């Protein structure tokens, strides 16, 4: 019977609580506000039970949230095996805790975002944060859901919603510029390929602006395995680049092993810069220079956005290139 | 008002649905079973709305679950930045999906398990899986919660509950035995130290049974950072072991970088075996031989346990030593 839930399921109201407890809405108010009129203990207990069973949250308007200590938000993520999403997930949890809120997490590897939101919409959820990239077709449905929603990881600006995005295009350009600064003239790319991919586009445009030839570009999905295979493809090329921009840390881990097995040293034979800045880059051998996503800042802005009245706002953050030794910079103590 | 939720919050009943919808319990049955009596469309809609708002789940008994497609379970984890818990979390999600169930995840870095369970107890949760190590004092409270609970990661057997555990003690012994097989006589340990730590105990007893001296044992919490610092401590010792058992992959990643910076080669100068078997060990340079937790099997058993009538059952699985090159075994293609 609940197998076709509606994203726009209505919120629980004070009237619902009154009906369930068998009292008037005024009595519900007296109980929740501790006055002004006294309420018999038995009635009070019945109202509180109704509040709990219905998951009623007073003061939660659809747009600006007056987040109290009983508020609960839901984080939707594509999974947590990718260390970037694990990092983001644990930061959301920590920030929520610091603000006295609680979080439930829904991972949705194969599920549509709209399904995932509908699944939590009849629970006691005051707001949703989404770290998946949401397909344009799903955005409209989310806008209609009535649940305050913050998008955490969109590749492009979204009109009519609230989102916190990282400028991946600029991040990719930082990576290539740094490699050019090290004197490289032939810079390859490993990752998702094509003009719709912001990281590929940043790499491509950056080479163009330096009037450098487009180095080899090897298609790979975001996984260690795919990076490993791409590196083996690269080492088989007759014309190897002297540097690589790799679209994620997870990919880079696989690339590094593939290069190592092919007898290619990093950074001596191929310099490498990746993207994300997870703990893995810091503890890799050698440690990886990575365009680092400002996860703390992303999460802080996302929570701040929840309490604003704005119905449409895009916060665009700039990632930072953190230098380690895979790009050819001098080794330094792990940091 | 909901700030002191009770773990033993009662489940929503058919009578609650009837009361909320303003119909008899018989009418609720007719709607849910599609008969035998017809129900007016308007009434039917009211009943389904009540079912959804109350999160009512028919057929869910407290012990053996008749898990249907509307069932939802909750996974509690200490966080997901540790790749082992990320792996376990994504596997629970995948197995649930394969069985037509959905999962919400609650991470509880600083929260007590009892608090975390109480937080979800008034939601539409049919069962809870806990991957944290639960302190003995909390186990009794969980037993009384009335929510079917499966423990996924306890260091010792728990009476009166259902759990799936991995025999870490034997796993640690496999690691040491393998290093002894490579001819090592001096085998150190990095990780949590003491007789209450199953991995430390396995290392300790194994050395004793081979009549080998107790190599250096360096205390470290489960983090890359702690492993990194422990390796620097180790390289400063005048009397270095020729092999190391490291209590987790996350620690091992830090240890490998620390040894590398200290000019110590793995496996030539120090052979290394770790524990967990996450993807990180496979893509490390060199790839790490690791006592691998049977995560797929753990998760399958956990879901099977949910549908049994048993109130107390311990399933104890044996981990497998997966050989890569950090122990001194010949390098092989990444697997």
CB nearest to B52's CB, from A5, A87, A97: A5
Any A CB within 8 A of B90 CB: yes
Any A CB within 8 A of B313 CB: no
How many whole angstroms from its chain centre is CA A325? 27
Any B CB within 8 A of A265 CB: no
Return all residues near A86 (Cβ < 8 A) that are at least 6 apart: A80, A278, B80, B81, B83, B86
- Model pLDDT, residue B133: 87
pTM for this one?
Answer: 0.80
Tell me the pLDDT of chain A averaged across its residues: 86
CB nearest to B3's CB, from A70, A106, A254: A70
Distance in angstroms (rounded) separating the CA atoms of residues B102 and B298: 18
Q: What is the ipTM metric for this complex? A: 0.79
- Model pLDDT, residue A144: 73
Distance in angstroms (rounded) separating the CA atoms of residues A276 and B320: 32
Distance in angstroms (rounded) separating the CA atoms of residues B299 and B320: 16
Residue A291: both structure tokens together: 């365009």
Any B CB within 8 A of A26 CB: no
Model confidence band, residue A68 (pLDDT cutoffs 50, 70, 90)? low
Looking at CA atoms only, how far is residue A254 from chain B in angstroms? 6
The answer to whether the Cβ–Cβ distance between A93 and B102 falls below 8 Å is no
Contacts of B20 in chain A (CB under 8 A): 16, 19-20
Instruction: State the DSSP code for A330.
Output: P
Distance in angstroms (rounded) separating the CA atoms of residues B123 and B126: 9
Contacts of A224 in chain B (CB under 8 A): 279, 282-283
The residue that leads in pLDDT, B171 or A6, is B171
Distance in angstroms (rounded) separating the CA atoms of residues A284 and A85: 19
- Model pLDDT, residue A69: 54
Q: Are B172 and B275 in contact (CB under 8 A)?
A: yes
At B99, give phi and psi (nearest 5°): -95, 10
Return all residues near B331 (Cβ < 8 A) that are at least 6 apart: A261, B286, B287, B324, B325
CB nearest to A334's CB, from B257, B287, B334: B257
Interface mutation vs chain A, best among B283, B331, B335, most A CBs within 10 Å: B283
Average pLDDT over residues A187-208: 97
Q: What is the pLDDT of residues A31-46, one digit of tens each?
A: 877 777 888 888 888 8
Q: Are A20 and B18 in contact (CB under 8 A)?
A: no
The answer to whether the Cβ–Cβ distance between A90 and B79 falls below 8 Å is yes
Contacts of B279 in chain A (CB under 8 A): 81, 224
Contacts of B110 in chain A (CB under 8 A): 97
At B291, give phi and psi (nearest 5°): -70, 115
- Model pLDDT, residue A62: 36
Q: What is the pLDDT of residues B156-205, one digit of tens each?
A: 788 788 999 999 999 999 999 999 999 999 999 999 999 999 999 999 99
How many whole angstroms from its chain centre is CA A100? 21
Look at residue A57 and tell me whether its pLDDT is greater than 70. Answer: no
The answer to whether the Cβ–Cβ distance between B69 and A3 falls below 8 Å is yes
Please report the sign of the dihedral spanned by the C-alpha atoms of residue A266, residue A270, residue A273, residue A274.
Answer: negative
Task: Fold for B168-293, please state it.
Answer: Rossmann fold (3.40.50)
At B275, give phi and psi (nearest 5°): -135, 130
The answer to whether the Cβ–Cβ distance between B334 and A97 falls below 8 Å is no
Three-state secondary structure of B65-78: ECCCCCCEEEEEEC
Reported CATH class of domain A1-49: mainly alpha
Contacts of A9 in chain B (CB under 8 A): 52-53
- Model pLDDT, residue B61: 37
Q: Which stretches in chain B have pLDDT values below 50?
A: 1-9, 59-64
- Model pLDDT, residue A37: 81
Look at residue A123 and tell me whether its pLDDT is greater than 70. Answer: no
- Model pLDDT, residue A1: 33
Residue A319: both structure tokens together: 């990632």
- Model pLDDT, residue A92: 94
Task: Please state whether beta strands B313-317 and B271-276 pair in parallel, antiparallel, or not at all (unpaired).
Answer: unpaired
Interface mutation vs chain A, best among B86, B116, B260, B326, most A CBs within 10 Å: B86
Model confidence band, residue A181 (pLDDT cutoffs 50, 70, 90)? very high
The answer to whether the Cβ–Cβ distance between B123 and A124 falls below 8 Å is yes
Q: What is the pLDDT of residues A237-292, one digit of tens each?
A: 999 999 999 999 999 999 999 999 999 999 999 999 999 999 999 999 999 999 99
3-state secondary structure of A275: strand
The answer to whether the Cβ–Cβ distance between B83 and A79 falls below 8 Å is no
Which residue has 């003690």 as its token pair? B169
Any A CB within 8 A of B109 CB: yes
pLDDT over 70, % of chain A: 89
- Model pLDDT, residue A64: 44
Nearest-CA residue of chain A relative to B333?
A: A261
Task: Please state whether beta strands B149-151 and B162-166 pair in parallel, antiparallel, or not at all (unpaired).
Answer: parallel
Look at residue A3 and tell me whether its pLDDT is greater than 70. Answer: no
The residue that leads in pLDDT, A115 or B165, is B165
Distance in angstroms (rounded) separating the CA atoms of residues B254 and B277: 15
**What is the domain partition of chain B in residue ranges?**
14-52, 72-166+295-318, 168-293
Q: What is the pLDDT of residues A288-331, one digit of tens each?
A: 999 999 999 999 999 999 888 777 899 999 999 999 999 999 98
At A136, give phi and psi (nearest 5°): -55, -35
Q: Do domains A72-153 and A168-294 have the same CATH topology?
A: yes
- Model pLDDT, residue B4: 34
Reported CATH class of domain A168-294: alpha beta
Contacts of A60 in chain B (CB under 8 A): none
**A93-97, A208-212, B46-50: range with highest mean pLDDT:** A208-212
CATH superfamily of A72-153: Response regulator (3.40.50.2300)
Reported CATH class of domain B72-166+295-318: alpha beta
Return all residues near A165 (Cβ < 8 A) that are at least 6 apart: A151, A153, A154, A155, A156, A157, A314, A315, A316, A317
CB nearest to B228's CB, from A31, A331, A334: A334
Residue A333: both structure tokens together: 């103590």
Contacts of A83 in chain B (CB under 8 A): 81, 83, 86
């Amino acid at each position: 019977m609940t197998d076709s839930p509606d994203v726009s399921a209505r919120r629980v109201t004070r009237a619902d609580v009154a009906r369930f407890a068998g009292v008037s809405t005024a009595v519900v108010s007296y109980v929740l506000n501790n006055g002004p009129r006294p309420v018999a203990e038995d009635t009070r207990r019945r109202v509180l039970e109704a509040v709990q069973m219905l998951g009623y949250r007073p003061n939660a308007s659809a747009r600006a949230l007056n987040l109290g200590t009983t508020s609960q938000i839901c984080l939707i993520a594509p999974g947590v095996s990718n260390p970037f999403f694990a990092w983001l997930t644990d930061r959301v949890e920590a920030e929520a805790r610091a603000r006295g809120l609680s979080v439930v997490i829904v991972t949705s590897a194969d599920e549509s975002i709209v399904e995932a939101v509908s699944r939590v919409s009849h629970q006691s959820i005051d707001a949703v944060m989404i770290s998946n990239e949401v397909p344009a077709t799903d955005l409209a449905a989310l806008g209609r859901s009535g649940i305050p929603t913050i998008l955490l990881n969109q590749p492009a600006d979204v009109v009519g919603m609230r989102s916190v995005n990282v400028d991946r295009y600029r991040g990719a350009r930082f990576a290539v510029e740094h490699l050019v600064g090290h004197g490289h003239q032939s810079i390859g790319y490993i990752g998702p390929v094509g003009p719709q991919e912001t990281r590929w586009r940043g790499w491509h445009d950056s080479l163009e602006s330096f009037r450098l030839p487009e180095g080899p570009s090897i298609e790979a999905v975001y996984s260690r395995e795919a990076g490993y295979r791409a590196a083996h493809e690269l080492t088989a090329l007759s014309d190897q680049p002297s540097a690589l921009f790799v679209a994620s840390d997870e990919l880079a881990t696989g690339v590094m092993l593939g290069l190592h097995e092919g007898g290619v040293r990093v950074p001596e034979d191929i310099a490498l810069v990746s993207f994300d800045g997870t703990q893995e880059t810091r503890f890799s051998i050698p440690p990886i220079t990575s365009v680092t996503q400002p996860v703390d800042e992303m999460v802080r802005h996302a929570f701040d956005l929840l309490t604003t009245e704005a119905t449409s706002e895009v916060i665009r953050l700039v990632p930072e290139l953190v230098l380690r030794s895979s790009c050819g910079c001098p080794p330094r103590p792990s940091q």
